[in-house]
Structure 1
């Protein structure tokens, strides 16, 4: 109630703020302007009176003649001035005096206006103390002084370009400010004086501002309110100081307001001039649902609204209408079910002019309401550094390169084995063509490209003399003879077609057997020395499980190699190794004689045999050097993907030992205990820049990630400020950084943009622009600098999505929806809404596949946190997120709420991290909250995941009420015209389960959890790198790869699997969620708190039903003692009870007991209804089908018949018996 009261008070204040007096002095030219002439103000009718002689009208203004003498004369002989009503100043709390006038000539201390009283007892009939009446013929005398006043001097010391504002009370404490603003005689200016109570130095007083032509000139602070000024002499053109001269000023317009106008209002009034046009109010209409709200921008279709204010003339009959500070009307339907409602508003414009209009409200009888007044742009807020789409037409791009000296062509490796070429990057329509179909080539000779995990076609380099020899080199993974190898080969471009490779030209240089799918390195670059550099990972698995790091006498792993493909005479033959291809005993490349390990006899302080050394190695101690590049100055930069703690950027030099696996980043690595003494001092080198993994305590999320992508140094010409800057990224967090070196000091690293899925950097051969391979989006992006000008709404209220932020009442058309199972968001309570972009757009529904959404659809998700955990009644607003579908994908932004919960502000591109003070278990606790970056939003809301993760069949298949329409949400959406196709009966569709729904199997609840929290990446075609398992909900458990499946990171032990039945300590999925066993968190983005409820649920599943779960083969062996006996065949009825072994397996009955039968029988709980009772073993999905003829069967369309696995035990389904003769059967399946 407190919030509503404050809002209501504010609205009253705004409604009361008004123009209260307006004198326009537009008497006809030559009409009488003698003493006593009255001029009524057009607002209140109060009279202004001409006093004295010499005044004149010209039809638009009143000119006061002024005199060079003093004001110490009577009313019958003084040069004319204007007397305004008493009390017009002291009666105000806040004030604005606006005068349009021209100074005709300078006069001594001439007053534009003077309000107050003198010190005498009063002069003239009926005079109040200090007053000089407008009929007094007696001079006030030379001796009276000024007691109270607030005056405006526009010719200080008889100089027209000197001014003063001044005030005092009780003849003392004069406060003044002198200015010297150039002024031209005869030029009309807008003069404005405002008084704002409580502003400035004195809380009990206020602050005076004076403006000219909309510009602030000066201010003074007064220690007293306006009510302390006894204003009985309120004059235009006369001073209360009798020694000052009457004014020679031409007055066009005088306005007095009972509020202090803002600078914007003053400027608007200046623009409109002294004779603004009357506002024109036009009728409005709005559709909404009963008991909902609408914020109606009534001014949007009105004219001449500058400086206007809105008030309600005739209120609505079935609700309320309140005006906000922007002149919008918040209509709230409060009672009844009328078809329509209406209200009338008035817009009061500048100069007191006004107009009225009717607003008609129509209550919709359908769920869908179009809303074209939302302010949510079609693209995200621009950044100073932007990523634009440079090239399209690709599938899984992983590397890019151009031949030396070629300024038009760009070559791109696709992971699955196609080498693509853009033949002219300078054209906007450039599309790729196939330069080499490596996959087809390998297949033709009985081999295959291996794309398991991180494998594939992942490296490309062109020979320095490519222009003459046409040589290019590839690094790719090949499967042959049931093994996988990492191969480095030379190819030649066709002599007849520069955009086609010669498929017969391959010369294999290296072919290393690889027993793991990840950590391949695979980058190729020629250095300025003409040698080929090759990045090599540690073979894979985790924690250097294959013992390939910190050795130079084993295989081609964990290093950067440097070889001579030209076989210069002074160079050496490599040592013997199965991976080195030879012709008649001679290798196809040479070893540069100055390679660091040529002739080595020791390594890390231990003796080695020179003949066993991998003399190809240039640098060692690398885990997965994913993308390296040479700067033009010869420096070799390399990003090395870390294990569980740090990522690294290294400058690679001769014989450099980057430390893995003795060290990771600047800390200990998984094998630090095996490092030789003083390793860091004697042998190892620290990275140039390490950064921590997502969620690491003490690290800003703008500078964390989980998988570094090494970049390039910019040496282009288009952006001079970038020259010498190194750009790199993180594949998982989506952060893109710039790095500038600072000599021996740590480098300066800045987050400049965000985009998930960046796997490689390169340069545009035509201009040196930075290019990035976006694996997730199948495009090449370009890094550019832009001048940022954006109209993107800076506040949530500015989006128009909510009619009222006080209770998050959505705008008409933005409908709320609920989900069956919320994604884990660190205990947050969430609300959701969506809207389609127009009246015609539709959603294409799918049961198990992705839904198709129209461009412009918006989803809104709001987050609250309980201030006392476990007490939903006490919450704090945290953030509100928007997801917007675009023609090419989607984008997300977040708005963070202020501490008062009254407004939310757009969060920067990099997101935000902050603490939220709450109470947990009676104790204070600071909960860390992460608002994800826009790149992190895109990392989850991918095209592969369907963009809107919560808007799926299984999530919104539940009953509810949306704006007064009740039913299943899928049906409500279908009936509301949201779908282009029919979902059918929701009774028969699957849904997700909450962990508390114990009537369903533990496994089914676990599967729901994994789908919602993991399955958007871990799915076929998903973005998980690698996709070790598929969490798609429609798959059988044995199709997911979860049970005893291998993970890309097994924590250094092959005993660790994704899920190990009966062993939680070895189950990586649980360890990821529970942060145990040394594993990092999954999901890795925007979470800091453990999901204890689902940790318990997964633990219960792994130790419980999963540990005893039998597939048919295991059940057959257990029941029949044989895996191959005819008796145990699925279709055999071993006990001749009419049920096959397969059915006995599904029903949990005994296959060798004729009396063990499945329970399935009817009962009639009430007339017209039938109840079908059945008993299930663990982990069985059951659906009842019905028929009238025993031939055609279909699912019984009743609630609960969704075939979701139930808990073991007795169950029933009940529904109407709709046919005279109706048959039923129970269909069982194994999930």
Structure 2
């Protein structure tokens, strides 16, 4: 059995000799200061691992879930941050319009998979508030007579926070440019919270504009959710006439709207209501309105929205009572066409009924997906029943589906790439997954969980809380392949890499000898489709073998606990499904949690020898000929419960391990909170920031209220075991020691933190490490400015020559993100290698390096 990870006495940092030949040039160019360099102190044996052994017994091959289709990237040179829509003008031009969340619209002339030309069609960043997870520029729709009148409509969020529907017109001088000064505001809807905005605009065949609005996460004065009170526009589909005006309204209300003439004060713009958050809807060729309604805790819905119908939220979610019970009255509510549960999925992305010609097998099917698990489905209604068929799985989060004038469908993703569906190649290899661990070759002794030859043990500085379970960890790389090392970004692993984690519960609290193995999880890098797949094995009661689980599972264990009233307690332990693994193991988090430099930069006990893990890995050649790189001053996270470390650093390390996989840019968290250990506190969007969702009934609550843990939801959610708990998956036992650490940290925050966060501007000039790094073909560079003014961001090669200027102009104070596509100012693809990127604003200059791999 592997030894339990033990506490190291303090942070360990590796230092190597830098190559100095280019540094005088860089110093002169950037006016930087060269760091002192010394050689590595301990290069002599004994090492924890003396040589790399071959893995001859353990082999496993997973793939994306069995699908009929795959995704192929198109428009490869057009990648940006958080695209939210791709649509067309319906004017016969075949142009595509690409919407970015921050208020930018591009128009593309395309030829097949390539963009021949692209230019800015409309920029309304000054009007758009995109600072919240769900806010920003959300949608656009073109008038049916756009070719003649040049009118189009956009939905964006404005101020703090208003849902705004506006009309614009195309420029008279240029069909590829809108007249930004032509804005005519049709609707401004004050929202009770910065979430649940809905977001779709579309014209029906009747010529009227339909608008999707979420419930705003709000209630009326009687505590009734706004989706069930038609006196409010929230939680509904609106239908308005943009060609007429009614009284003081800048639009008309069609006479056949269902609430026209009511005497109850209900809004006559409403076409249907009782919806939670209909992010996307579309019309099929027959005129039916198909809407995807994002659920809350349990169900996601596909609805065919009909005139005057109430779709039940929040009384009904899916076809079930909300919250779950049996006594709710569902009479009068329109049921969904289809609903699916939260088993790895969590946010419906509505799509289109396919009417293209490229994929005949999909003709007439409703294509939709899920933001979180990335699955894309084809739904058909036939002979009174519904068929739902899995088509493909997206490699990153789906933000929206797009459609061109030919009816072909596109898949938009949070990291920028756009995809199309295509038939699956026939030569794909089948999966090879053992049904039990005893036949897997993973262990040379299954009962003792002794690793087979070639499996490498490791431990982490800050482990994820798993309801008190102890864990041992292994990794294995196929065919003696190598790890792509990065000091501050995700490591790169070859296809076929497997990470193994064994979970043990103490059956007698406080007695390590009573440890019983309950689960083994595998994380496998696939050769195609979804990049990594998770598998869970449940161990039998005797600890002699473990069986592969087909789905999520809960098991109750009796724990002897002297602190419990009866001397024992029942502990429910959760085994996640394969799809649920993707909720945490996201692309934004690097897929493999914990296997990066700051977590592994520590010592590990290898039998009788304690050695620094990275030193041992480097010694056996895991990182190849480049080893640990030129700069050995490597980051290291503290152990959360090491009392010799600073409380703030320990707390940040704990939050990084337990929360940052979701709460970081472009991941699954439903806020802008960034809890990575490397993010400066003032840039985490937590201090005195109001929560986007539930305040748990706490007055004046914030994500973190400095000095007041009792009003800090980051802390309070750790004390819950209901739906509001954090982390939300596979936790039923409170981590009291971890919660106490976070409480102490927040309690110790002083007025300095309050002053920093009360400012609308960042406290300091910050240039972040690009992500991903290394990269191919695109990477994102983030930076923050404490003051507005002239800014220049440029990329240089190692000879000090400027390659490309990414920013050269006036920017406002705040956070900014820029994507570099690995090309120079002339559009030429740059060669693989290390480049420097330099940010200058006034007298402030920062420089970082990045690695492009072709």
Q: Distance in 1 between matches of 2:422 and 2:543?
A: 37
What SS does the corresponding residue of 2:638 show, helix, strand or coil? coil
Matched, 1:971 2:615: yes
Which consecutive unaligned segments of at least 5 residues does structure 2 have?
2-46, 561-566, 756-854
Contact preservation (8 Å) 1:844, 1:980: yes
Q: Give the TM-score of the pair, scaled to structure 1.
A: 0.49
Residue 1075 of structure 1: which of 710, 720, 726 is its match?
Answer: 720
| Residue matched to 2:121 | 436
Equivalent position SS for 2:714: helix
Does 2:637 align with 1:991? yes
Whether contact under 8 Å (2:291, 2:303) holds in the other structure is yes
**1:415 is matched with which residue: 101, 107, 130?**
101
Q: In structure 1, how many angstroms separate the alpha carbons of the residues matched to 2:545 and 2:247?
A: 69
Deviation larger for 918-927 or 657-666: 918-927
Q: Which residue of 1 aligns with 2:153?
A: 473
Show the 5 A alignment for 1:985-1064: 990-995=636-641, 997-1000=642-645, 1004-1019=649-664, 1021-1035=665-679, 1037=681, 1039-1051=683-695, 1053=697, 1055-1060=700-705
The alpha-carbon distance between structure 1 residues 940 and 1004, as it changes in their structure 2 partners (threshold 3 A), is same
Give matches, 1:288-367, under 5 Å: 367=51
Distance 1:511 1:810, change over 3 A: same
Q: Between Structure 1 and Structure 2, how many residues are aligned?
A: 688
The alignment status of 1:882 with 2:568, answered yes or no, reads no
Q: Give 1:655 deviation, angstroms.
A: 1.8
Instruction: Give the structure 2 partner of residue 143 of structure 1.
Output: none
Could you give the per-residue CA deviations for residues 343-400 of structure 1, whole angstroms, max 9, x where no partner exists? xxxxxxxxxxxxxxxxxxxx99954568799866797575334344344432212122
Distance in 2 (CA, whole Å) between partners of 1:793 and 1:884 is 12
- How has the CA–CA distance of structure 1 residues 783 and 838 changed in structure 2, closer, same or farther, with 3 Å as cutoff? same
State which of 770, 773, 786 in structure 1 corresponds to 2:412. 773
Cα distance change on mapping 1:920 and 1:711 into 2, 3 Å: farther
Q: Deviations over 1:546-570 (max 9, x none)?
A: 974444445x433211122233xxx
Q: CA deviation at 1:758?
A: 1.9
- Out of 426, 433, 436, the residue aligned to residue 795 of structure 1 is 433
1:939-970 Cα shifts (integer Å, max 9, x gaps): 43334323332123332122124588742113
- Counterparts of 1:531-930 in structure 2, within 5 Å, are 531-540=208-217, 548-554=226-232, 556-567=233-244, 573-574=245-246, 576=248, 580=249, 587=250, 589-601=251-263, 607-608=264-265, 614-661=267-314, 663-666=316-319, 681=331, 684-692=333-341, 694=342, 701=343, 705-717=345-357, 722-741=362-381, 747-749=386-388, 753-755=392-394, 757-763=397-403, 765-766=405-406, 768-775=407-414, 777-786=415-424, 790-796=428-434, 802=442, 804=444, 806=446, 814-834=455-475, 843-846=484-487, 849-853=488-492, 855-856=494-495, 858-866=497-505, 868=507, 875-876=516-517, 878-884=519-525, 890-894=531-535, 896=537, 912-916=551-555, 918-921=557-560, 927=572, 929-930=574-575
Name the CA distance, whole Å, in 1 between partners of 2:464 and 2:272: 44
Structure 2 distance, partners of 1:436, 1:1025, is: 31
Contact 2:354–2:364 (CA under 8 A) maintained in structure 1: yes
- 1:1115-1154 matched pairs, under 5 angstroms: none
Task: Note the C-alpha offset of 1:798.
Answer: 13
2:615 is paired with a residue of what secondary structure?
helix
Q: Does the CA contact (< 8 Å) of 2:473 and 2:500 recur in 1?
A: yes
Quote how far apart the aligned CAs of 1:406 are: 4.8
Aligned mates of 1:510, 1:893 — CA distance in 2: 46
Distance 1:487 1:950, change over 3 A: same
Residue 860 (structure 1) shift: 0.9
CA offset at residue 785 of structure 1?
Answer: 4.5
> 2:530 & 2:629 partners in 1: Cα distance?
22
CA distance in 2, matches of 1:790, 1:872: 46
Distance 1:562 1:1035, change over 3 A: same
Q: Structure 1 residues 792 and 733, CA, compared in 2 at 3 Å: closer, same or farther?
A: same
Name the SS for the 1:760 alignment partner: strand
The Cα offsets for residues 638-670 of structure 1, whole Å up to 9 and x where unpaired, read as 222334454433221112223345555456669
Mapping 1:65-464, distance limit 5 Å: 367=51, 380=64, 383-392=67-76, 393-395=78-80, 396-404=82-90, 406=92, 408-424=94-110, 427-430=112-115, 433-439=118-124, 442-443=125-126, 447-464=127-144
Cα root mean square deviation, aligned: 4.5
Shift in Å at residue 414 of structure 1?
1.5
Q: Secondary structure at the match of 1:1011?
A: helix
Q: Separation in 2 of the partners of 1:735 and 1:930?
A: 21
* Counterparts of residues 1154-1193 of structure 1 (less than 5 Å): none
CA contact (8 A) 1:542 1:1052 kept: no
Larger relative contact order (Cα-Cα within 8 Å, sequence gap ≥ 6): 2
Change (3 A) 1:558 1:1017: same
CA distance in 2, matches of 1:1095, 1:590: 58
| Deviation string, structure 1 residues 735-761 (Cα, Å, up to 9, x no partner) | 54444446767x455555544622222
Alpha-carbon distance, 1:897 to partner? 6.4
**TM-score, with length taken from structure 2:** 0.69
Q: Would the alpha carbon gap of residues 380 and 901 (structure 1) be closer, same or farther in structure 2, given more than 3 Å must change?
A: farther
Q: Is contact 1:856–1:884 with CA below 8 Å preserved after alignment?
A: yes
Aligned 8 A contact 1:1017 1:1023 in 2: yes
Task: Quote the residue 2:822 is aligned against.
Answer: none
- Structure 1 spans left out of the alignment, 5+ residues: 2-362, 568-572, 581-586, 602-606, 695-700, 1116-1231
Query: Cα deviation per residue 1:994-1020 (whole Å; 9 max; x = unaligned)?
Result: 44x44556655443321101012213x
Contact 2:473 2:502 in 1 (8 A): no
For the 8 Å contact 1:1050–1:1057, the answer to whether it is kept is: no
Are 1:850 and 1:945, in contact at CA under 8 Å, matched by a contact in 2?
no
Identify if the C-alpha distance between structure 1 residues 843 and 623 changes in structure 2 by more than 3 Å, giving closer, same or farther: same
SS in structure 2 at match of 1:955: helix
Between the aligned partners of 1:542 and 1:956, the Cα distance in structure 2 is: 47
Aligned to 1:250: none
Give deviations 1:830-867, integer Å, cap 9, x for gaps. 33334567879563433xx4244255483412334449
The 3 A distance-change label for structure 1 pair 401 and 902 is: farther
In 1, distance between residues paired with 2:336 and 2:439? 45
- 2:491 and 2:595 in contact (8 A); partners too: no
Q: Deviations over 1:264-323 (max 9, x none)?
A: xxxxxxxxxxxxxxxxxxxxxxxxxxxxxxxxxxxxxxxxxxxxxxxxxxxxxxxxxxxx
Cα distance in structure 1, aligned partners of 2:48 and 2:613: 18
Offset, 1:614: 3.4
Shift of 1:774: 1.8
Q: In terms of Rg, which structure is larger?
A: 1
C-alpha separation in 2, matches of 1:384 and 1:799: 30
For residues 571 and 748 of structure 2, the distance between their equivalents in structure 1, rounded to whole angstroms, comes to 42
Determine whether 1:981 maps to 2:629.
yes
Which of 182, 194, 207 is matched with 1:517 structurally?
Answer: 194
How far apart, in 2, do the equivalents of 1:459 and 1:968 lie?
52
